[in-house]
């Protein structure tokens, strides 16, 4: 069993953003139906272009009732030769005789530098390619929607001229990508006839024997579909499902295309179209199961996990846990058991990692424990292999950490920087921050420790205490770290020379394995928070200090 490493699905990002507090009612933070450009086009330059065009589109003379949604057709694809015979046939049939779908009327506004047109000079491919690069850069500085549209017209024209000159394979790829890109921008900004031209060009590419060309055709077609779908989800996903089944029947080993289509399904889910997203993910997964390439099989496994999570409405379970953890624990356990019943893979574990982390960040430690417990029980039923062993080894400390909540720490085998034993009796009745640090920490960790020290100095007379545990095996590193100005809080390290740092008895009981790592104890001495990020530390300490003894 192999691990699959994929970007966090967009629907996962949506839920995380909603819970952390960055989104509005719809949960996406982006109203796709009001923007002609994508929320994320794959590169910083494309994002900047998208931002500029958004502004221009809002101020243009476009019919205000028309609010097109734009998703760049070719996304962040950087095609590379994939077919063995690609370079032996450098000019694809569809590139030898460009059709009307890949041509445009030359711009008429000669006042704009971006619209200068020149007749193709036979063989002068470099000049055309340089012009295409300049035109791409010009999109960042457009001053009007008219100018932007003229730039797209010239990009389309110059790309077509490149293809007429029998260019190298790499230049072909760039020219075709430019065609799809320009047609997609025209389609997204509602240029007359752009949708038809884009459809025709994508269909031409899909008929190619070249994998790279087919990929660009499919992504262009998918982008066009998503623009229509964002405007009216009621149209359904049948056309997209049919395209996936047709194209992926041949190209099920194309990792780039599989990844992009998986993200498309996530985008559909982010629009709260659960049933449609499940339909698209299922179609894509069923095609990918024909592959015997491990990365593709990993995507199929991830889709299986996401389908199961969508079917049990896992996003709603997460929100309910954050709202009232105790009440909703049984529903979370039931949902997790249904998810694992659909298939237990390393990809499922990878899908669950961000949710366990999110629960910890939201102080829903029992929820993290439930997810880890159900996963661990499911993986223990599988035949042992390196992937299973790796997951079980990762889940064990998660469960052990969760078991700390509501229980006291034992102050065992601890000494201060002078070598004197520490027993913890002075901490009784106080709120206690326990922070793990290294005497050889870099500046970011030093800055965090300074923040914690300042908090201690402000609250130490109000029943607050701080214990710092140095994980560095060098017994002198604490003094070296602080120099002549030792902190007022308890600076401790292991008192057992044979078991220092993370191997000490104190560290082992907390399951700490990294710095920084923090725990917060209530006045009763029991652990109330663990793994606290620095940006939440102030809130957790304040809340605990306000509780009555």
Type and span of the H or E element at 431: strand 431-437
The pLDDT-based confidence of 345 (bands split at 50, 70, 90) is very high
Q: Is 85 exposed, middle or buried, given 0-12, 13-18 or 19+ CB atoms closer than 10 A?
A: exposed
Q: Return d(Cα 394, Cα 377) in angstroms, integer.
A: 13
Closest C-alpha among 434, 441, 387 to residue 537: 434
What is the percent of the chain where pLDDT is above 90?
A: 45
The pLDDT-based confidence of 537 (bands split at 50, 70, 90) is very high
Contacts of 226 (CB under 8 A, 6+ apart): 69, 71, 264, 267, 268
Backbone φ/ψ region at 119: left (φ over 0), alpha (ψ -120 to 50), beta: beta
Sequence length of the chain is: 549
Q: Tokens for 197, please give them.
A: 């031209």
- How confident is the model over 243-259, as a mean pLDDT? 90
| Domain annotation for the chain: domains and CATH numbers | 42-63+74-210 (no CATH), 414-545 (3.40.30.10)
pLDDT of residue 57: 57
Tell whether omega for the bond before 516 is within 30 degrees of 0, i.e. cis. Answer: yes
The pLDDT-based confidence of 95 (bands split at 50, 70, 90) is very low
The pLDDT-based confidence of 155 (bands split at 50, 70, 90) is very high
pLDDT of residue 123: 57
Q: At residue 386, does pLDDT exceed 80?
A: yes
Q: At residue 503, does pLDDT exceed 80?
A: yes
CA distances from 233 to 267, 273, 295 (A): 12, 8, 31
Q: At residue 13, does pLDDT exceed 50?
A: no
- φ/ψ (deg, to 5) at 405: -60, 130
- How confident is the model over 2-11, as a mean pLDDT? 40
pLDDT of residue 278: 95
Q: Return d(Cα 462, Cα 460) in angstroms, integer.
A: 5
What angle (nearest 5°) sits at the alpha carbon of residue 66, between those of residues 63 and 69? 135
- How confident is the model over 526-544, as a mean pLDDT? 91
The answer to whether 236 touches 261, Cβ cutoff 8 Å, is no
- What's the distance, CA 482 to chain centroid? 39
pLDDT of residue 548: 78
pTM over 0.95: no
Q: Return d(Cα 95, Cα 87) in angstroms, integer.
A: 14
- φ/ψ (deg, to 5) at 461: -90, 5
pLDDT of residue 75: 32
Contacts of 212 (CB under 8 A, 6+ apart): 79, 80, 81, 82, 83, 86, 173
Q: At residue 408, does pLDDT exceed 50?
A: yes
HSE-CB at 381 with a 13 A cutoff on CA atoms is 10
For the chain, what is the mean pLDDT?
Answer: 79
The predicted-structure confidence for 422-468, as pLDDT tens digits, reads as follows 989 999 999 999 999 988 878 888 899 989 999 999 999 999 999 99
To the nearest 5 percent, what fractions of the chain are helix, strand and coil? Answer: 60, 5, 35
pLDDT of residue 124: 81
The predicted-structure confidence for 98-150, as pLDDT tens digits, reads as follows 333 333 333 333 333 333 344 444 458 888 999 999 998 888 888 888 888 89
pLDDT of residue 400: 86
3-state secondary structure at position 520: strand
Output DSSP code: residue 526: B
The predicted-structure confidence for 363-379, as pLDDT tens digits, reads as follows 888 899 999 999 999 99
The predicted-structure confidence for 282-302, as pLDDT tens digits, reads as follows 999 999 999 999 999 999 999
The predicted-structure confidence for 208-239, as pLDDT tens digits, reads as follows 989 999 999 999 999 999 988 988 899 899 99
What is the percent of the chain where pLDDT is above 70?
A: 76
The answer to whether 260 touches 299, Cβ cutoff 8 Å, is no
The residues that bridge with 416 in the sheet, in sequence order, are 492
The predicted-structure confidence for 14-63, as pLDDT tens digits, reads as follows 334 333 333 333 332 333 333 343 333 445 556 666 665 666 655 554 44
User: Across the beta sheet with 464-470, what order do the strands follow?
Assistant: 414-416, 490-494, 464-470, 431-437, 517-521, 527-530
């Amino acid at each position: 069993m192999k691990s699959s490493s994929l970007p966090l699905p967009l629907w996962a990002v949506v839920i995380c953003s909603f819970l952390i507090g960055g989104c509005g009612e719809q949960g996406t933070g982006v109203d796709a139906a009001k923007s002609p450009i994508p929320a994320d086009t794959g590169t910083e330059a494309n994002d900047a272009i998208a931002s500029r065009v958004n502004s221009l589109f809002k101020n243009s003379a476009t019919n205000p009732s028309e609010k097109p949604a734009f998703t760049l057709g070719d996304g962040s694809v950087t095609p590379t030769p994939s077919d063995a015979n690609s370079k032996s046939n450098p000019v694809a049939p569809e590139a030898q005789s460009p059709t009307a779908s890949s041509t445009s009327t030359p711009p008429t506004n000669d006042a704009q530098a971006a619209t200068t047109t020149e007749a193709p000079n036979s063989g002068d491919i470099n000049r055309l390619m340089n012009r295409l690069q300049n035109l791409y850069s010009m999109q960042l500085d457009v001053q009007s929607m008219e100018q932007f549209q003229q730039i797209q017209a010239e990009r389309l024209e110059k790309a077509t001229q490149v293809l007429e000159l029998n260019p190298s394979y790499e230049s072909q790829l760039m020219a075709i990508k430019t065609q799809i890109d320009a047609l997609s921008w025209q389609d997204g900004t509602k240029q007359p006839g752009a949708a038809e031209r884009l459809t025709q060009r994508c269909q031409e590419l899909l008929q190619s024997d070249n994998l790279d060309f087919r990929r660009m055709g499919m992504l262009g077609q998918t982008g066009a579909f998503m623009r229509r779908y964002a405007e009216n989800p009621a149209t359904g996903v049948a056309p997209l499902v049919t395209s996936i089944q047709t194209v992926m029947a041949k190209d099920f080993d194309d990792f780039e295309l599989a990844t992009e289509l998986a993200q498309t399904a996530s985008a559909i889910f982010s629009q709260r179209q659960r049933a449609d997203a499940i339909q698209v993910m299922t179609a894509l997964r069923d095609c990918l199961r024909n592959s015997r390439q491990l990365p593709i099989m990993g995507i199929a496994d991830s889709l299986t996990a996401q389908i199961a999570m969508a079917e049990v409405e896992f996003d709603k379970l997460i929100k309910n846990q954050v709202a009232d953890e105790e009440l909703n624990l049984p529903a979370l356990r039931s949902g997790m058991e249904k998810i694992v019943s659909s298939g237990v893979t390393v990809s499922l574990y990878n899908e669950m990692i961000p949710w366990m982390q999110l629960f910890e960040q939201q102080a829903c430690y029992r929820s993290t424990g439930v997810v880890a417990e159900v996963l661990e029980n499911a993986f223990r039923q599988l035949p042992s292999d390196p992937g299973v062993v790796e997951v079980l080894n990762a889940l064990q400390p998660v469960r052990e950490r969760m078991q700390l909540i509501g229980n006291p720490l034992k102050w065992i085998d601890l000494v201060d920087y002078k070598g004197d034993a520490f027993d913890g009796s002075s901490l009784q009745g106080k709120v206690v921050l326990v922070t793990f640090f290294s005497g050889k920490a870099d500046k970011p960790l030093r800055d965090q420790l300074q923040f914690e020290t300042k908090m201690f100095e402000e609250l130490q007379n109000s029943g607050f205490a701080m214990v710092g545990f140095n994980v560095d095996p060098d017994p002198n590193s604490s003094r070296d770290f602080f120099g002549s100005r030792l902190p007022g809080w308890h600076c401790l390290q292991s008192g057992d020379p044979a078991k220092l740092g993370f191997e000490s008895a104190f560290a082992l009981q907390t399951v700490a394995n990294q710095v920084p790592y923090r725990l917060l104890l209530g006045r009763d001495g029991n652990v109330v928070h663990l793994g606290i990020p620095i940006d939440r530390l102030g809130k957790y300490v304040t809340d605990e200090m306000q509780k009555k003894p």
